[in-house]
Amino acid sequence: MADLYLTNSLTGKKEKFEAINPPDVGIYTCGPTVYDYPTIGNWRTYTLSDVLLRVLKYLGYKPIFYMNLTDVGHFTGDNLGDADIGEDRMEKAAKKQGKSAWDIAEFYIKDFLESYEKLNLTRPEKFTRATEYIKEQIELVEKIHSKGYAYKIDDGIYFDVQAYETAGNVYGELSTLQKIKEGARVEPNLQKKNPRDFALWKFSPTGVKRHMEWDSPWGVGFPGWHIECSAMSMKYLGEQFDIHAGGEDLKSTHHPNEVAQSEAATGKHPFVRYWVHGAFLTVDGKRMGKSEGNAYTLYDVEAKNIDPLALRYFYFSGHYKQQINFTWDALAAAQTSLNKLQGIVTDYRDSRGRTTLSVDKLAKVNFYREKFEKAIADDLNMPQALSVFWEVVKANIPDYDKYDLIESFDQVLGLQLSKFTISNSQIPKEVQELVKQRENSRRGRRYKEADEIRRKIYDLGFKIEDLARGVKVKKK
């Protein structure tokens, strides 16, 4: 296995990755709270996890991957730095839409899984849904409480940060605590011993019947937002595992709290060896947000007849640790580049007669293979990896060998280049574009629209065949 280097948020440094139990690598990623459609910023985070998985596989590791789906206990106050205040996002969405929180969860989970496929993201061993692990969460809270790291107040069971620190532990290694403290002052809970303390279990308000609530040793209620990830990740990956991924917004509260409650329960440090956080996406130079009117979703992308895989390509324009600025022009350029690659790769595949490579050309093939591997192993440097992709296109080596290289590289990029069977030399550009539009419609499950495009292609003198690994276009 080749050496892999990752920026570890736990230390703030780029470090050589060393698995606990090689070649196995345990990975957990924080997935969505299923009360709304994920934004394209959220999808950048999930694409980061996918690339990490693909790179590990490419380098010879065997990743064991889990992603959670939060369907209870995530409060609106996390935007202010205190995830225990405000409203439960699930209950709030249910009230707004006149449905139950369970209905809201089912709808958005189904939508998330369909969109997940459109971006060609690798499915985990299991999507762990918080409401399906209430027993494990209660047991974990009991364990933390029995060790003296939790206390009860009127609205729930809270983690005692001071007790944790007094025992010799360090709280907040992943981030500064200023945001937590500021958030706690917005709407302070005066019963909390410390502004940094956070809910492990919340009680249902007196006289209020929530859609989602359960009996517990302390009273009827529901789990806090943070406890689910500790309970579910440890159930499947053990009390210590290799990599935890997520967006950089989780560094300020959610992930520090995850570390504290897990290590308090087990007495083992570190809970996770490598923390990998992806940077935010800006839109037209501004922060993304609903209040800004620019919290675009995958549906906004598809509405402009852009392939979701073009969004994936766009993400590779910047390193995951750096903010990248989204514009519709930049996404259109990504679509153009993707279309060009699809056509080029199809022509390479359709070339016939592999020749024996000269020593010089064999050296070039190996050079590009090594250069690509070096890029992805250097902290998942996808902009550099994409650059190598295009270098291969321009290289003086036989087309069939270019195809082999690109197909190998696409195991990491996940652009599904080998699925396309349109030959630039034989099919008019107008028809090629229609074929790509139809593929986009099919990915979006807009089958009526896809059938209409098929008829347009037929009227232009071509017919299309759907194959197991893509589509084939030929004259009638």
* Residue positions forming the annotated binding site for ATP: 290
Question: Which residues fall in the annotated binding site?
Answer: 30, 229, 254, 258, 290
Angle between helices 399-413 and 328-350 (to 10 degrees): 140
List the binding residues for Zn(2+): 30, 229, 254, 258
CA distances from 205 to 154, 190, 202, 208, 209 (A): 10, 17, 9, 5, 8
Nearest to 228 by CA among 199, 196, 194, 197: 199
Both tokens of 238, joined, read: 């053990």
DSSP secondary structure, 219-263, as one string: -SEEE-TTHHHHHHHHHHH-SSEEEEEEEGGGGTTHHHHHHHHHH
What DSSP letter does each residue of 21-89 carry, written as one string? BTTEEEEEE---BTTSPPBHHHHHHHHHHHHHHHHHHHTT-EEEEEEEEB-S--BGGGGGT-TTSS-BH
Query: Measuring CA to CA, which residue among 430, 431, 453 is closest to residue 442?
Result: 453
Tokens of 341: 């690659």
CA distances to 124, 165, 234, 247 from 158, in Å: 31, 15, 20, 25
List Cβ neighbours of 470 (8 Å cut-off, separation of 6 or more).
418, 419, 420, 421
Which of 129, 163, 130, 128 has the alpha carbon at shortest distance from 144? 163
